[in-house]
Amino acid sequence: MLKVGVIGCGAIGIEICRAIDRGIVKAQLSAVHDRSIENCEGLLASLVNKPAILPPDEMISNADIIVECASAQAVREFGVNILEMGKDLMVLSAGAFRDSGLLERLTDTARAHHCRIYIPSGAIAGIDGLKSAAVAGINKVTLTTTKNPKGLKGAPFIEKNNINIDSYREKTLLFEGNADEAIAAFPANVNVAVSLSLAGIGIEKTHVRIFVDPGAKRNIHEVSVEGDFGKFTCRVENVPSPGNPRTSYLAALSAIATLKKITEPLQIGT
Ligand SMILES: NC(=O)c1ccc[n+]([C@@H]2O[C@H](COP(=O)([O-])OP(=O)(O)OC[C@H]3O[C@@H](n4cnc5c(N)ncnc54)[C@H](O)[C@@H]3O)[C@@H](O)[C@H]2O)c1
């Protein structure tokens, strides 16, 4: 049975561990790691089959695949080591790959050690269609994100521009730029901009718009793609994760679905 180690016992980590604990994913949760021991203990309290809480190296050597659901910093800290130890890596903090040097280093290491790197679709729909479309030509990819002020608080763009995010009374365009600029401005919010770029036409050409909407009860991500195949638009109205309003519930579900895909013989979708 696949042995899974999880780095990050926050909103996404909890959902992944519970899915394994409930048998939704046919795998064994071998160990977890978090820089906050309280978060590790809080997670374990919600599980029937409790994994070990281990320091990174021990956790990695005890698992077949490590799921990173912590931070871009954690990808930089542990990514190379995980792959050098011959383990597969799943990355939720896809924003880390804004640094193309890091992605290249990890991909080269994965190739040398016969491992795989998985980047789940996260909080968006349409990556399957985009991957198919990318086999031919793509002219345009746009991500339009709309969030409640609560989901955007603390972002560097808000702080740097002294924006009072609670002052908006109606839906307003806050930011427009390419995916590279978007992830710098809102690092904890638009990981999806980077996954979308990697699957499509790259970080410089992928266009991102971010709206703040005090009336929004959900995190809305709309992906529009135009190319040789024609065009499509996918809109997801995401329920925020109970543990973290910046994170959409679908992001955790996409990691669980990716684990299911790895562990099951039938593969559906691109
Ligand atoms: N791909 C997507 O669509 C998508 C969607 C939402 C969130 N995310 C990303 O996934 C990650 C997890 O999201 P979340 O909502 O569960 O966050 P969270 O804040 O609820 O939990 C993160 C946990 O990781 C721990 N952590 C952070 N950095 C660490 C490190 N270097 N070493 C050890 N532990 C560390 C924290 O202590 C915390 O317990 C974030 O980076 C977030 O930006 C991706």
Q: What is the pLDDT of residues 208-264, one digit of tens each?
A: 999 999 999 998 999 999 999 999 999 999 998 877 777 889 999 999 999 999 999
| C-alpha pair distances (Å), 251 with each of 149, 256, 258 | 19, 9, 11
pTM: 0.94
CATH second-level architecture of 127-238?
Answer: 2-Layer Sandwich (3.30)
Nearest CA to ligand 1 atom 41: 71
CATH second-level architecture of 2-119+250-263?
Answer: 3-Layer(aba) Sandwich (3.40)
Domain ranges of the chain: 2-119+250-263, 127-238
What's the Rg (C-alpha) of the chain? 18
Q: What is the pLDDT of residues 47-80, one digit of tens each?
A: 999 999 999 999 999 999 999 999 999 999 999 9
Structure tokens, 184: 């710098």
How many angstroms is it from 129 CA to the middle of ligand 1? Answer: 27
Structure tokens, 92: 């939720």
Rounded to the nearest integer, the mean pLDDT of the chain is 95
Residue 221 annotated as catalytic: yes
